[in-house]
């Protein structure tokens, strides 16, 4: 078993575990399930490539319809919102539930994420259970603190609700703007008049969404004890 070239577990060191699973996967017919599994494997590959610098443990399929990964706590506030965006963009159907847990890892940090254990994964498992029971999408958070969990979950619900109401054109524009591209440049990228871009952005409530996501990143940052960041 190969040890990762990153620091081993240390007293007080925290990590963010993420667990995801496919909603209503048992209802998929055989042909659809086969296609979904191929796309699921491709999703893991892309996430590992795009978020390599933020990962303590790679995205790994655990139980066929479920995956796990371990995020470096210092990168959590930037990685988690971007990760949710990328998953919804790359793998829009069927929908994925996501649970995030903050805590220690009690086993040595090794390449096989499925072999890791500790409060971070216990909290993530609890979060994914809540997501399934309450049918909550956009990320569920546990272990970030009694005051922080409700804030993170509340913002996650509001932002997901807003994303779920976008039209196809609004979502396409939002995906471009979310990469940091200005509206004037988005018009050129999408081959649309600038006024159309402005209309789509206003209808999507993009400026309000940006403010909400900025608050979410700040709340994530504030939920991480400074002493746990190496």
Confidence of residue 214 (pLDDT cuts 50, 70, 90): very high
pLDDT tens-place string over residues 90-133: 988 888 999 999 999 998 887 778 888 899 999 999 999 999 99
User: Contact, 3 vs 47, CB < 8 A?
Assistant: no
CATH code for the domain of 33: 3.30.70.270
Least confident of 60-64, 104-108, 180-184: 60-64
Confidence of residue 215 (pLDDT cuts 50, 70, 90): very high
Look at the block and give the residue holding tokens 């040890």. 3
Kindly state whether residues 94 and 195 are assigned to the same domain.
no
In angstroms, the CA 47 to CA 55 distance is 10
Q: Which of 45, 122, 124, 126 is nearest to 86 (CA)?
A: 45
For position 53, what pLDDT does the model report?
A: 94
Kindly state whether residues 195 and 114 are assigned to the same domain.
no
The domain total for the chain is: 2
The reply to whether omega before 94 is within 30° of 0 (cis) is: yes
Least confident of 132-146, 200-214, 216-230: 216-230
| Domain annotation covers residue 230 | no
| Domain annotation covers residue 155 | no
Q: What is the mean pLDDT of the chain?
A: 89
Percentage with pLDDT > 90 across the chain: 70
Kindly state whether residues 112 and 6 are assigned to the same domain.
yes
| Domain annotation covers residue 149 | no
Kindly state whether residues 191 and 81 are assigned to the same domain.
no
Kindly state whether residues 185 and 89 are assigned to the same domain.
no
pLDDT at 58 over 90: yes
Kindly state whether residues 82 and 132 are assigned to the same domain.
yes
Q: Are strands 96-103 and 140-142 parallel, antiparallel or unpaired?
A: parallel
pLDDT at 12 over 90: no
| Domain annotation covers residue 159 | no
Kindly state whether residues 138 and 28 are assigned to the same domain.
yes
Domain that holds residue 172: 165-222
The runs of H, that is alpha helices, within the chain are 30-50, 76-90, 119-134, 148-164, 168-178, 183-190, 194-204, 206-223
Comparing 34 with 206, the larger pLDDT belongs to: 206
pLDDT at 82 over 80: yes
Q: pTM here? A: 0.89
């Amino acid at each position: 078993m190969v040890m990762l070239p990153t620091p081993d577990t240390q007293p007080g060191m925290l990590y963010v575990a993420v667990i995801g699973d496919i909603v209503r996967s048992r209802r998929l017919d055989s042909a659809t399930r086969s296609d979904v599994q191929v796309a699921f494997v491709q999703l893991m590959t892309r996430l590992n490539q795009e978020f390599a610098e933020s990962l303590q443990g790679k995205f790994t399929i655990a139980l066929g319809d479920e995956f796990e990964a371990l995020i470096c706590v210092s990168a959590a506030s930037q990685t988690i919102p971007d990760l949710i965006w990328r998953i919804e963009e790359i793998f829009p159907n069927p929908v994925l539930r996501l649970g995030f847990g903050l805590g220690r890892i009690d086993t040595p940090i090794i390449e096989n994420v499925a072999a890791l254990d500790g409060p971070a994964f216990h909290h993530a498992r609890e979060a994914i259970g809540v997501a399934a029971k309450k049918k909550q999408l956009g990320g569920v958070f546990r272990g970030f603190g009694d005051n922080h969990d409700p804030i993170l979950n509340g913002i996650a619900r509001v932002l997901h609700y807003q994303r779920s109401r976008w039209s196809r054109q609004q979502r396409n524009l939002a995906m471009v703007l979310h990469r940091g591209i200005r509206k004037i440049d988005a018009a050129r990228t999408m081959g649309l008049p600038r006024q159309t871009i402005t209309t789509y952005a206003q209808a999507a409530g993009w400026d309000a969404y940006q403010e909400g996501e900025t608050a979410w990143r700040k709340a994530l940052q504030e939920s991480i004890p400074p002493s746990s960041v190496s």
